[in-house]
Amino acid sequence: MLVKNKQVAIIGGGPGGLTLARLLQRKGVHVNVYERDVNRDVRAQGATLDLHFESGLKALEKAGLMDAFKANYRPDADQLRIVDEKAKIFYDEHTEEATGDFGDEWFRPEIDRGPLRNLLLDSLQPGTVVWDSHVASVERIDDAFQLNFQNGNTVIADVVIGADGANSKIRPFVTPINPFYAGVTILERNIDDAQTNAPQIYDLLQGGKIMAFGDSKTIMVSAKGNGSLDFYIGWKADVHWWVNSGIDFKDGKQVLEWFKKEYAEWDNIWLELFEYEKNFFTPRPLYCMPLDQSWQAQPNITLIGDAAHLMPPYAGEGVNMAMLDALELSECLTSETFADLKSAIAHYEKQMFARFAEVGKETLDNTDWMHSPDGLKKILNMFNPN
């Protein structure tokens, strides 16, 4: 096996990195995951994720974790309502009888990010994840890498996989290619105890998801299993809007006043998302890697997930792509068919480039038309093509 007796370092303990660690350990590979969080409970995990048959679920099946997933996923959390800016319902999956199930190509079960991370963490050998390991710098040492962490620790690794997201510290060692701004900025936030703090939105959600369209803007809301909700609002803006706006995003009142002005045509029901006084907003200009990106493979370093192919969230493919990356890379690294590690990594990267070119285009197209005057019409045509 190509990685036999080699120390493999995965940088980043998100779903992609943890899935890769699990898959490699099942093949007997010595691997550690270096995660910047101090521990598994230090921060709340983000929104609900839908896993796809051909990617996220396929990776979990190969990892031997489908029973754990079935014990933690949220049935019916995928039920969607599409509404306009007045909260008028145009499409409602709550009124339809659920027909999908595991094994069906179009069944996309939902799981909160926290439980998904926990089931992956619990599947790993004790000590696999090295917490409080925020990469400060990376140095090449002969045929290996020295990883230097902000806590003062250093590690030598034979193979390094960057699974450290949009602001990857590993990516510059693989390629100088940078992402470009996709034209849309989002504001996101979590609301605790949604039934109490946003009762109208809670009733509209019905434990599922809302996609709202109007005036070339969007609001996406997801219920979570702990009774909270996550939401983000999106609109076309200058890349530096969040800096030049003058808004203190820790001050909900300032954000509320901005929303009342910029979303003036939207119904007052949406104000509940902004009147909640806890949990500050996070602005995020959305970036995407070039769809035609490529680089020369190296023998001991590569990327998965957002570190490899950052893209906006408007196709639901981010976590699925990361987990499929993990599956395909693990199979390449442990295959007997490649002459050396460079060939194995090159084969993985070739597949990854081709997949991203297709999915990335779909994501960028979605990002554009969802924030157009015809956004509602186009999404409804997708769900009701006749």
Summarize pLDDT for 167-183 with one digit per residue, the tens. 999 999 999 999 999 99
pLDDT score for 215: 95
pLDDT score for 40: 86
Strand ranges inside the chain, DSSP E: 7-11, 30-34, 48-50, 80-84, 89-92, 110-112, 129-130, 135-141, 144-149, 154-157, 159-162, 180-191, 209-214, 217-223, 229-236, 282-288, 301-303
Q: Which amino acid is at 281?
A: F
User: Would you tell me how many other CB atoms lie within 10 Å of the CB of residue 103?
Assistant: 8
Ranges of the chain with pLDDT below 70: 43-46, 98-99, 385-386
50 assigned to a ligand binding site: yes
pLDDT score for 41: 84
Query: pTM for this structure?
Result: 0.94
306 assigned to a ligand binding site: yes
Q: Measure the CA–CA gap between 317 and 80, rounded to whole angstroms.
A: 17
Is 20:304 a contact under the CB 8 Å cutoff?
yes
- Enumerate domains of the chain plus CATH numbers: 7-74+109-178+289-364 (3.50.50.60), 180-287 (3.30.9.30)
Helix axes 341-370, 375-383, angle to 10 degrees: 120
Q: Measure the CA–CA gap between 31 and 23, rounded to whole angstroms.
A: 10
pLDDT score for 385: 64
CA angle 263, 268, 269 (to 5 degrees): 110
pLDDT score for 69: 94
* DSSP symbol at 211: E
pLDDT score for 193: 96
Q: Measure the CA–CA gap between 198 and 270, rounded to whole angstroms.
A: 9
DSSP string, 164-208: --TT-SSGGGT-----EEEEEEEEEEEESSHHHHSHHHHHHHTTS
36 assigned to a ligand binding site: no
